[in-house]
Amino acid sequence: MKKLRKNRRISHVVWLCMGVLLVGAAAAVADEPAPVGEIEAAVEGLQMNMNILWTCIAAFLVFFMQAGFAMVESGFTRAKNAVNIIMKNLMDFSVGSLAFFLVGFGLMFGATNGLFGTTLFGLSGVEPGEDWNWTFLIFQTVFAATAATIVSGAMAERTKFVGYLVYSFFITLLIYPIFGSWAWGSLLDGDGWLEGLGFLDFAGSTVVHSVGGWLALAGAIILGPRLGKYGPDGKPKAILGHNMPLASLGVFILWFGWFGFNPGSTTYADGWIGYIAVTTNLAAAGGAVAATATSWILLKKPDGSMALNGALAGLVSITAPCDGVTPLSAILIGLVGGALVVVSVIFIDRVLKVDDPCGAVSVHGVCGAWGTLSAGLFNMDTGLFYGGGLGQLGVQAVGVLAAFAWAFGLGLVLFWTISKTVGLRVSPEEEMKGLDIGEHGMEAYSGFQIFSNM
Amino acid sequence: MKKLRKNRRISHVVWLCMGVLLVGAAAAVADEPAPVGEIEAAVEGLQMNMNILWTCIAAFLVFFMQAGFAMVESGFTRAKNAVNIIMKNLMDFSVGSLAFFLVGFGLMFGATNGLFGTTLFGLSGVEPGEDWNWTFLIFQTVFAATAATIVSGAMAERTKFVGYLVYSFFITLLIYPIFGSWAWGSLLDGDGWLEGLGFLDFAGSTVVHSVGGWLALAGAIILGPRLGKYGPDGKPKAILGHNMPLASLGVFILWFGWFGFNPGSTTYADGWIGYIAVTTNLAAAGGAVAATATSWILLKKPDGSMALNGALAGLVSITAPCDGVTPLSAILIGLVGGALVVVSVIFIDRVLKVDDPCGAVSVHGVCGAWGTLSAGLFNMDTGLFYGGGLGQLGVQAVGVLAAFAWAFGLGLVLFWTISKTVGLRVSPEEEMKGLDIGEHGMEAYSGFQIFSNM
Amino acid sequence: MKKLRKNRRISHVVWLCMGVLLVGAAAAVADEPAPVGEIEAAVEGLQMNMNILWTCIAAFLVFFMQAGFAMVESGFTRAKNAVNIIMKNLMDFSVGSLAFFLVGFGLMFGATNGLFGTTLFGLSGVEPGEDWNWTFLIFQTVFAATAATIVSGAMAERTKFVGYLVYSFFITLLIYPIFGSWAWGSLLDGDGWLEGLGFLDFAGSTVVHSVGGWLALAGAIILGPRLGKYGPDGKPKAILGHNMPLASLGVFILWFGWFGFNPGSTTYADGWIGYIAVTTNLAAAGGAVAATATSWILLKKPDGSMALNGALAGLVSITAPCDGVTPLSAILIGLVGGALVVVSVIFIDRVLKVDDPCGAVSVHGVCGAWGTLSAGLFNMDTGLFYGGGLGQLGVQAVGVLAAFAWAFGLGLVLFWTISKTVGLRVSPEEEMKGLDIGEHGMEAYSGFQIFSNM
């Protein structure tokens, strides 16, 4: 394997070295000096290879977050629906990878018409091989899939599999990439309009997490709550998750993967990786601590689910500002995120009466918005607390509102359309019996004695 | 730690820098030019360090696939045998690491006698330290262990622990390394014979996966089916796995690890990593989609186990051709693999009546063969559909047949010999009660109420 | 995201390239030679970026070990305490990250007064950005958290959550960093006293693992055994873990993370990564094999828990000597560690009658000591078996004893103080019912039928 490969694949660095050698060849005996241009190119080529290496590894870490989402969501829901939620996570990534490759990537990063990219099948003109664009494609694919998979948590335990597949296809095909093109813009020409305003969202608190979170909100509203979630008096009942160790494993995997998500968004190998890893980790720690404390105060006990969601809340919050704030600001941003997620989960459950089994709307939507706004407060160049005035904060608010309008609005249209065509919700009988049997004809835990309807 | 280390460990790059400095020292005031040779060596040293970094990280990812196999195989089998299958995965890696280090590596990559390497204890002459060979050794060790561990899935729930240990020892000691030397050849001198024919197997669809898969087939045949698997009428009964979330976690871990397996087989840090990551990911996605669709058609519901095996089928299929096919070909290769694995699982179960609890023969053997052949169809240099004629396809078929003859043949001999000596199959009583109690004196899920014989 | 970033973040390598370009600019037409100094700096900058990349990735792998500890410890204990142990793992990392950032890092690596660093809030003078110190901080943070989290396994199933939080705070704030400063010393000025003696502990067999293990011993002693662990006759009863697949997943994750722990302690990207990966892997394999064999002999069956702890024992043992011993020595060190852990677990359980539910004292304390001493035997420069005499072994013994005195002594004081203030142990009623309900008001496995008191 390696040898065959090595014969064919001579990287540009090696070519450059060879260039250096050839240039120097005649003079080699006399050991003549190397010209500046060749050396500069060799250094740039080496740095590029390092950037590719880092960006690919970061992409792999972000891919692994899919396992984290699958474990969190199955752990936080009932045993009778565990196969179903895992199938949704597996298939939204699979369908999304294909859709984003074929269309989404071009809409997001292609030559833009002002509103979205128009280079369909984005890499059609790029040769197979070592071009940087392939690395960028795999990195962006796993980001798109993250936005897609957030939604399954809010729609768990009652959504038809086929309806979910249709949703997955459209978010990675259209909804995510078009919004992304506004904030992160084209590879080929001008900025997106949000980017042009100076919108700061380093790794996607808004672009990935809020877009996913607001789509999740739309889905949960269109679906309605699970059977038995709200009593005749309208009071919410707790429907407990079936596997907290699995859910906690999922959170650890997500935290691990976030070291690809945030530091990886440098797409450049230098000391900023370490800096962003520090702010990311401190915010996650702050989120877990604050959610534990907040739940201890509000719910009388340090709640395990809240602590886990608190870590995620800290991570989502720091995703936008991670590169531009001090470590102390990062701790504060995480602490606020962790407290906020507890309050938001309770508010959505008890006041809005929207049934979000895993807290996805609070974690990704609400904390994504907070994190994006926090860049307007704490960014060391332009933030309110650093003498930057209200300008940056205003731009951040524009981005937050644009994401809500776009994702929630289109989400309502999409899920309503699905519900009127292929169908969005399973029958009450199937919901009682569990989607694993109903949708997939199998049980998650064959052999275990499990209480009925769990 | 770091300081002590840093004092002692001055890499060749730093030496080179020092060389550059020393050469330039007398002239430093006048800032004289650097000679070409020194610079070229410095660039090469940096690229080598980057290759080492990447190859090591890839090896770690491939190591982590052991966790994936353990979770998939325990999830797909019954609770009463979960400790046993995990012990087998742990011990085949451990025994295999020792056997491959001591003997296997030298058989595979040592100076060859035409049929295998003869440098026993491969690195005996290499100094401890920073030589590239150590990096290559750890990378090859985890590959060898992957081949070994594939087998446990097919032989699950009825194999004696001691018999399995003996098998593990011989595959990493002899069977895998000798075949590997034919396809991937010697570090020290000429090519292996398959390599000499122009056989294409970039990351081991045949060398690793088919070899493991055909050994698994031999083992499953010699063992015979689990008690109760086939009724008196010969009809197969489904024996359901006990933990689908665990199995799905395993598949996500394997997919994650495959980003080390395929892109890592470059053993070189440049843009090919990104390209191969794209083809690998698209094929896996295609495999999951096709297996879901195929099971939906054939079994009336989108089956969770089939979808998971479909992702693995796509990954195994793209392993040979991942570096030489277009992304669209990669999707197609994955789609075919995903459909094929469903048909193959059903065929082996119902027609051949070989009891393979996890589908290892279909995933690794059959899809490994398909992936290897697909290089003969879609390779952009030599494939049939790219004007290369039938030559490459013929060579690929030779490699596929050689792997089958070698691994299946030796597998029959090995497992038959084990069955006649230390014993291969547990007693019917132990099988009924479960291997966890019988072989290890413990339960996997102490405290849980589990239906008897599950 | 990327674009904004890229505009602002021009690494020193690029600046250097630009320097090279500018220097060469006027002369570019004539393609004049590059001066030596610029090139040397460019090469050094590239290697530094590579070191940062590697050290960050290693830190992420070590972070992921938190998931490993959480899975091992919850798997090895009862279902009724699974949420609690996971919350402890989550919170010791979170609290520890904050405490180590704010104080611990400065105590460990700040300008030293001879006994500890005095640069409180260690990085207060370091600008946000790409300074290497941020990378070093994240790497050291995950090490500190590893020491902290070891303790939870030994204190499982009976420790009050609030008492554990207090402990977590102090170990990462004070106990670990001060000892660390003795062995790994200051970033700013002289060596720590152990370092000055020539103490060898490459990646922390003593600094991380033994310190954690001896704290765990102190905690387990102050707490006393779990209810029902010792009968009226003083004979120990086995209290079985509830989820062996989860525990085994944890061990695989830890093994995976150890490739960051040991090879990462180079903090330098070159071939030593591969070498240390080889020694680390061989010792782990040896540990698993020896523990399996030892348990087979002593307990009549190859015990799953022992095999898993054996792999960990091999890993802990090789952590100190991994960079300075031959691969064959690494195998031997692992084999001894694996046998030792079985004997030690039985000895602590039956003779000392200290209740350590996960074997943390044996794995981390005892094998950490063995690993540290083994460097005095097998180190290729100074070890007893390499003509180095008894000197190195004596220094190693001093370090081992210092760690025991410091960690066990302070541990007794700390846990005794906690027990007399906020409280260390839950009530017998809560212990019977489970800490998940008592401390957190929730169950780990809602819906599953679980035998009472399990």
DSSP, residue by residue, B246-278:
HHHHHHHHHHHHHHHHTGGGG-S-STHHHHHHH
Q: Are C39 and B28 in contact (CB under 8 A)?
A: no
**Predicted local distance difference test score (pLDDT) of residue C13:** 43
Mean pLDDT of A438-444: 95
Measured between beta carbons, the chain B residues lying within 8 angstroms of C272 are: 9, 129-130
Q: Contact at 8 Å (CB) between B43 and A50?
A: no
Could A79 and C141 be called an inter-chain contact, meaning their C-beta atoms sit closer than 8 Å? no
C-beta neighbour count of A22 within 10 angstroms:
13
Q: Dump the DSSP string for B426-440.
A: --HHHHHH-HHHHHH
- Mapped onto helix, strand or coil, the DSSP state of residue B67 is helix
Average pLDDT, chain B: 91
Do residue A278 and residue C56 have CB atoms under 8 angstroms apart? no
Q: Lowest-confidence range among B43-57, B205-219, C103-117, C351-365?
A: C103-117
Angle at which helices B36-75 and A12-25 pack, to 10 degrees? 160
Taking the Cβ of residue B435 and every Cβ of chain A, the question of whether any pair is shorter than 8 Å is answered with no
CB of B447 within 8 Å of a chain A CB? The answer is no
Amino acid at C145: A
Residue of C nearest to A448 (CA): C448
- Residue of B281, B335, B395 to mutate for A, most A C-beta atoms under 10 A: B281
Among the listed residues A102, A103, A107, A96, the one whose alpha carbon sits nearest the alpha carbon of residue A146: A96
Residue-level pLDDT at A139: 98
Helix (H, G, I), strand (E, B) or coil at C283: helix
> How far apart are the C-alpha atoms of C135 and C54, rounded to whole Å?
10
Tell me if A56 and B304 make a contact (CB, 8 A cut-off).
Answer: no
Question: With contacts defined as CB-CB under 8 Å, which chain A residues touch C58?
Answer: none
CATH for the stretch C42-440: 1.10.3430.10
- CA–CA separation, B134 vs C273, rounded Å? 9
Helices (H), B348-387: 360, 367-378
Instruction: Considering only the C-alpha atoms of chain C, give the largest distance between any 2 of them, rounded to a whole number of Å.
Output: 93
Residues of B in contact with C50 (CB under 8 A): 46, 49-50, 53
Residue B327: which of A163, A138, A220 has the closest Cα? A138
Instruction: Please indicate if any CB of chain B lies within 8 Å of the CB of A412.
Output: no
Residue with structure tokens 């259209």?
A174
Q: What is the pLDDT of residues A333-346, one digit of tens each?
A: 999 999 999 999 99
Interface B-C: count of C-beta contacts within 8 A = 270
pLDDT at B8 over 50: no
What pLDDT, on the 0 to 100 scale, is given for residue B32? 60
B28 contacts in chain C (CB < 8 Å)? 36-37
pLDDT digit string, tens, across residues B222-281: 999 999 999 999 999 999 999 999 999 999 999 999 999 999 999 999 999 999 999 999
Nearest to B35 among A32, A46, A97 (CB): A32
Which of B17, B93, B94 is the closest to C43 by Cβ? B17
Average pLDDT over residues B116-142: 88
Query: pLDDT tens digit string along B267-318?
Result: 999 999 999 999 999 999 999 999 999 999 999 999 999 999 999 999 999 9
Q: How far is B379 from chain C (nearest CA, A)?
A: 32
- Nearby residues of A323 by Cβ (< 8 Å), 6 or more positions away: A202, A203, A265, A266, A272, A275, A276, A279, C5, C9
Contacts of C26 (CB under 8 A, 6+ apart): none
Nearest one of C404, C270, C379 to C323, comparing CA atoms: C379
Touching partners of C (3+ C-beta pairs < 8 Å): A, B
Q: Do C5 and A245 touch (CB under 8 A)?
A: no
Give CA–CA dist A59/B70, Å, rounded: 24
Nearest CA in chain C to A241: C446
Tokens representing A438 are 């109903």
DSSP letters of C99-150? HIIIIIHHHHHS-B-SSSB--SSTTTTSPSSS-HHHHHHHHHHHHHHHHHHH
The pLDDT value recorded for residue C187 is: 73
Residues 6+ apart with CB under 8 A from B436: B80, B81, B82, B83, B84, B442, B443, B444, C244, C304
Torsion-angle region of B212 (φ positive above 0: left; ψ -120 to 50: alpha; else: beta): alpha
Instruction: Say how far apart CA C213 and CA C148 lie, in whole Å.
Output: 10
The pair of structure tokens assigned to C68 is 């490993």
What is the per-residue pLDDT across A35-58, written as a single tens digit (0 to 9) for each? 778 888 889 999 999 999 999 999
pTM reported for the whole predicted model? 0.94
CB contact under 8 A, B195 and A448: no
Encoded tokens for C327: 């691969």
Q: How far apart are the first and last CA of chain B?
A: 50
What is the rounded average pLDDT of the residues B118-129? 81
| Whole-number Å distance between alpha carbons of C12 and C2 | 18
Contact at CB, B442 and C326, closer than 8 angstroms: no
For B434, the token pair is 């479960």
| Interval B349-386: pLDDT, tens | 999 999 999 999 999 999 999 999 999 999 999 999 99
The CA distance from A137 to A204, in Å, is: 16
Write out residues 268-287 of B within 8 Å (CB-CB) of A.
268-275, 277-278, 281-282, 284-286
User: From CA B170, how far away is CA B183, in angstroms rounded?
Assistant: 19
Q: Quickly tell me which residue has 């004596």 as its tokens.
A: C394
Question: Using an 8 Å Cβ cutoff, are B152 and B415 in contact?
Answer: no
A446 interface with B at CB cutoff 8 Å:
yes
Neighbours of B112 (CB within 10 A): 23
Contact between B154 and B360 (Cβ < 8 Å) = yes
Q: Which residues in chain C have their CB less than 8 angstroms from residue B259's CB? A: none
Q: Which residues, including other chains, have CB under 8 Å from residue C325's CB and lie 6 or more apart?
A: B128, C279, C318, C333, C374, C375, C378, C379, C380, C383
Q: Which of C89, C445, C452 to mutate to test the interface with A (most CBs of A within 10 A)?
A: C445
Q: Which residue has the tokens 């599950």?
A: B454
For residue C155, give how far its alpha carbon lies from the nearest alpha carbon of chain A (Å). 18
pLDDT at B14 over 70: no
Let me know: does C253 contact C454? Beta carbons within 8 Å.
no
Residue with token string 């009924």: B432
Answer whether B127's CB lies under 8 Å from B57's CB: no
**pLDDT score for B31:** 54
Q: Is residue A351 predicted with pLDDT exceeding 70?
A: yes
Of the candidate ranges A109-118, A274-283, B91-100, B360-369, the one whose mean pLDDT is the lowest: A109-118
Note whether C415 and C222 are within 8 A (CB).
yes
Rounded to whole angstroms, the Cα distance separating B224 from B155 reads 9
CATH 1.10.3430.10, chain C: domain bounds: 42-440
The better pLDDT of the pair B190, A311 is held by: A311
Give the model confidence (pLDDT) of A274-287 as tens digits: 999 999 999 999 99
Enumerate neighbours of B (3 or more CB pairs within 8 A): A, C
Burial class from Cβ neighbours inside 10 Å (0-12, 13-18, 19+) for residue C285 reads buried
Position A247, amino acid: A
Residue A3 has a pLDDT of 36
CB contact at 8 A, B307 and A85: no
Instruction: Write down the pLDDT at residue A233.
Output: 93
Q: Mean pLDDT for each 10-residue chunk of chain C (454 residues)? A: 35 41 40 72 94 98 98 98 97 97 93 85 81 95 96 97 96 96 82 93 98 98 97 94 98 98 97 98 98 97 97 98 97 98 98 97 98 98 96 98 98 98 97 96 95 87
The predicted structure's pLDDT at residue A39: 80
Tokens coding C423: 């409280």
Q: Is the pLDDT of residue B21 over 90?
A: no
Who has greater pLDDT, A352 or B123? A352
Inform me whether the C-beta atom of residue B35 falls under 8 Å from chain A C-beta atoms.
Answer: yes
Q: Each residue of A125-172: pLDDT tens digit? A: 788 888 999 999 999 999 999 999 999 999 999 999 999 999 999 999
C144 within 8 A of C103, measured Cβ to Cβ: no
How far is it, in rounded angstroms, from Cα C259 to Cα C278? 10
pLDDT at residue A295 is higher than 50: yes
3-class state of residue B231 by DSSP? coil
Structure tokens at B418: 């084990």
Largest CA distance in chain A: 93
Token pair in block for residue A73: 């969501």
Is A304 close to C442, i.e. CB distance below 8 A?
yes
Residue type, A413: V
